[in-house]
């Protein structure tokens, strides 16, 4: 059972909800969102451009692996400078200038077409490191996070590796994924193959605008079941409520506008740890998700 926590707009409280859900599940007898009963509890920070969940869950990370993209390395002895590699490259990541072949690693998507097409078989592929996947534990939670290297544009391969490492063999238990902001390719990559999408929003015009976009991707494009958590309830207007009612999207929880929450989070304390009175709200949210998934 894999739950992704997303939002569209940044800063609405994805990480707050995702980490608190994981802690609430860990505090129960075991993650038993499904009929099979307790199993592993996995938390993955898929917001690899700006991963923050570790600041709240404070895991011990004892395993680290690099994520690379295969980029071409040309054997200049074998190369005839015919230019076929540059011709087939959709990203202009390789070019032939006289008796030189230039490779631009940051533009390469690692498709391997240049190596396949080289008539002299003069291209082999080497790994260009773009990020890291780290793993460890936060109490009983199996924790994983991806981090994109500074200056690297492509977040998707890091997310793909993180999910593959922790979810490909997953048969029982619960995984909670902290999704990246926005609604473009990193968000889509995070949502692929999940069972349920929880969208955290705030009741403001910005929150609503980006919630609509996130629903378009999660529900309409990827045909996943979605539910909404309204954070900072009471801050703006009623338009998010109206939208959810019209669209038939369930609002599964409301976290009130409470300055104490903002202050606790600003110091890196998870919501349920700093303000235990919100524990009941999260247990209720878990119950709603359970009911939604069964439907």
Q: Which residues bind other proteins (CB under 8 A)?
A: 8-12, 15, 48-50, 52, 55-56, 88, 90-91, 109-113, 116-117, 148, 150-155, 180-188, 204-206, 209-210, 213, 216-217, 220-222, 235-237, 259, 262-263, 265-268
3-state SS assignment for residue 203: coil
Least distance between other proteins and beta carbon 139 (Å): 19
Measured from the CB atom, is 29 or 267 closer to other proteins? 267
- Rg of the chain over CA atoms, in angstroms? 22
Q: Which residues contact 142 (CB under 8 A, 6 or more apart)?
A: 40, 41, 42, 43, 135, 166
Measured from the CB atom, is 4 or 174 closer to other proteins? 4
Angle, vertex CA 103, rays to CA 102 and CA 104, nearest 5:
120
Measured from the CB atom, is 116 or 291 closer to other proteins? 116
Least distance between other proteins and beta carbon 45 (Å): 11
Measured from the CB atom, is 129 or 291 closer to other proteins? 129
If residue 23 lies in a helix (H) or strand (E), which one and from where to where? helix 14-27
Q: How far apart are CA 47 and CA 180, in angstroms?
A: 4
Residue count (the chain): 295
Measured from the CB atom, is 124 or 209 closer to other proteins? 209
Measured from the CB atom, is 34 or 204 closer to other proteins? 204
Nearest to 157 by CA among 33, 257, 42, 66: 66
Q: How far apart are CA 148 and CA 131, in angstroms?
A: 4
Beta bridge partners of 5: 178, 198
Least distance between other proteins and beta carbon 13 (Å): 8
Nearest to 71 by CA among 23, 129, 127: 127
Least distance between other proteins and beta carbon 98 (Å): 25
Least distance between other proteins and beta carbon 168 (Å): 13
Least distance between other proteins and beta carbon 160 (Å): 9
């Amino acid at each position: 059972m894999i739950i992704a926590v997303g939002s569209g707009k940044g800063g609405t409280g994805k990480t707050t909800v995702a980490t608190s859900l994981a802690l609430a599940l860990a505090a129960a007898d075991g993650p038993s969102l499904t009929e099979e009963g307790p199993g592993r509890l996995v938390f993955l920070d898929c917001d690899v451009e700006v991963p923050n969940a570790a600041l709240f869950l404070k895991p011990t990370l004892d395993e680290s692996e690099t994520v690379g993209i295969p980029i071409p390395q040309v054997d200049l002895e074998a190369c005839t400078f015919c230019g076929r590699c540059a011709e087939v490259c959709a990203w202009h990541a390789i070019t032939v200038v006289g008796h030189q072949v230039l490779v631009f690693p940051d533009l390469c998507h690692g498709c391997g077409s240049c190596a396949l097409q080289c008539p002299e078989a003069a291209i082999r592929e080497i790994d260009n490191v773009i990020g890291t996947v780290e793993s460890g534990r936060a109490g009983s939670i199996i924790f994983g996070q991806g981090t994109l290297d500074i200056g690297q544009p492509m977040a998707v391969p890091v997310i793909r590796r993180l999910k593959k490492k922790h979810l490909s063999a997953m048969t029982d238990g619960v995984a909670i994924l902290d999704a990246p902001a926005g609604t473009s390719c990193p968000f889509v990559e995070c949502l692929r193959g999940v069972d349920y999408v929880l969208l955290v929003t705030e009741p403001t015009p910005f929150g609503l605008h980006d919630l609509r976009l996130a629903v378009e991707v999660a529900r309409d494009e990827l045909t996943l079941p979605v539910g909404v958590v309204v954070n900072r309830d009471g801050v703006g207007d009623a338009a998010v409520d109206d939208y959810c009612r019209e669209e038939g999207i369930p609002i599964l929880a409301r976290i009130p506008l409470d300055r104490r929450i903002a202050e606790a989070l600003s110091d890196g304390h998870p919501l349920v740890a700093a303000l235990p009175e919100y524990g009941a709200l999260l247990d209720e949210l878990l119950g709603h998700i359970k009911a939604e998934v069964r439907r």
